[in-house]
Amino acid sequence: LAGDLPKAKLPAEVARAGLRPAREGGQNQPLVQALIKAAGLTLSDAQLTPAEMQTLARQALASGDAVRGERIYRRTELACAACHAIGGAGGKVGPDLTSIGASSPTDYLVESLLYPSAKIKEGYHSVIITTKDQQELSGVITKETDTELTLRNAANIEVPVAVKNIAKRSSAGSLMPAGLIDGLLPDERFDLVKFLSQLGRPGDFDAAKGGVARAWRLYIVTSKNQEVRMERVVGGDPTLDDWVPALTLVSGLLAGETITTAYPNFLNTRGLYAATRFESATGGVIKFTLTGGVKDAWLNGVPIRPGTEFTALARAGANTLVLQLNETRAAAGIKLTAADVSFRSN
């Protein structure tokens, strides 16, 4: 079907109508791309004028929905959260977006989404390294000495390269690919821009507020890993292979859809756990506020009694809090806050 569309000269309005169900099916990316082209939705191939980008910005502010936009931002296929951090939580490949909405005009956000290499923030220009043994590496240089440089690649992995093994170095613009939002419907693009425009502004999308757990790890007990000692799970042992990283929404809510995306069949498992880490300057009794259904909790492997508000004795330095979630209430998500600690962002 995807191959036949160009021959059929499908009317743009018909292609637009078919695009949403095709995308929601999630099984036929060639069909989606063919419909995008037929619907005339590709913007990255056309060089919009500043006036046209300002028009798109005004439309996004007028009709976009920031709540929907955040869901779009967190779609796995866009990889926004894998490359950018908000409130310190997320990838380090691109600039932190915590205050991007408060510090940047909306038409700048539009331009950055459509043409990522047009204006690159200092320190985020990528390079392509060709080594003497014919490897080609790309990324942003995070460290460089006389003998070695370190590249952070698009997968957020730091790769060391010996200077003596470099045959060629060239500039590569932005690691963010052009055309990334071509697969979004016009209203979805407006939603995404509206979300970005609200980051850092007072209200629901102010991620500068501290005292909230934004980075979690999820773990389920199944027949495949049931032999793992529970002391390792409730202690948040990071060496266990089955932990899955999960980020909250800007509000600090670990959304139910994040849990179900990681574990679609979690209701049929033998236990669902969430772990987060924090630093305490002096240790002592810490007061936590928790929303969401939780069965049990452990701080540094020691059982504690969870509730809407609960206290626990933390040690000075690093601490790990593990919650066993109530599977029947997990769809509502969880949120954890504490005023006197610094939650880890990774």
Query: Domain coordinates of the chain in residue numbers?
Result: 126-173, 215-343
Helix (H) or strand (E) holding 100: helix 100-103
Instruction: Taking the CA atoms of 325, 326, 328 and 329 in sequence, report the sign of the dihedral they define.
Output: negative
d(CA 188, CA 56): 12
What is the reported pLDDT for 179?
Answer: 83
Q: Which is more confidently placed, 306 or 24?
A: 306
Statement: residue 89 has pLDDT above 90: yes
Statement: residue 342 has pLDDT above 90: yes
**From 32-41, 146-155, 184-193, 225-234, the region with the lowest mean pLDDT:** 32-41
d(CA 107, CA 116): 13
Confidence bin at 123 (pLDDT 50/70/90): confident
What is the reported pLDDT for 263?
Answer: 84
Nearest to 252 by CA among 346, 337, 339: 337
What is the number of residues in the chain?
346
* Average pLDDT along the chain: 87
What is the reported pLDDT for 155?
Answer: 84
What is the reported pLDDT for 331?
Answer: 86
Query: Residue for token digits 């501290």?
Result: 210
What is the reported pLDDT for 180?
Answer: 86
Which tens digit of pLDDT belongs to each residue from 178-211?
A: 888 888 889 999 999 999 999 999 998 999 888 9
Statement: residue 122 has pLDDT above 80: yes
d(CA 248, CA 343): 13
Statement: residue 32 has pLDDT above 80: no
Statement: residue 23 has pLDDT above 50: no
Q: Does domain 126-173 have CATH number 3.30.428.10?
A: no
Q: Which is more confidently placed, 321 or 46?
A: 321
What is the reported pLDDT for 160?
Answer: 94
Statement: residue 9 has pLDDT above 90: no
What is the reported pLDDT for 191?
Answer: 98
The predicted model scores a pTM of 0.82
d(CA 174, CA 121): 9
Confidence bin at 7 (pLDDT 50/70/90): low
The DSSP annotation for 236-256 comes to T-TT-TT-EEEE--TTS-B-H
Q: What is the mean pLDDT of residues 307-320?
A: 97
d(CA 87, CA 276): 15
What is the reported pLDDT for 27?
Answer: 44
Give the whole-number percent of the chain exceeding pLDDT 90. Answer: 64
Amino acid letter, residue 224: K
Which tens digit of pLDDT belongs to each residue from 237-259?
A: 999 989 999 999 999 999 999 99
Nearest to 113 by CA among 201, 174, 37, 55: 174
Q: Which of 22-31, 98-107, 177-186 has the highest mean pLDDT?
A: 98-107
d(CA 71, CA 77): 12
Query: Residue for token digits 């069909």?
Result: 31
What is the reported pLDDT for 24?
Answer: 46
The residues near 82 (Cβ < 8 Å, ≥ 6 apart) are 90, 91, 93, 155, 156
What is the reported pLDDT for 262?
Answer: 85
Same topology, domains 126-173 and 215-343? Answer is no
| Span 215-343 CATH architecture | Sandwich (2.60)
Statement: residue 26 has pLDDT above 70: no
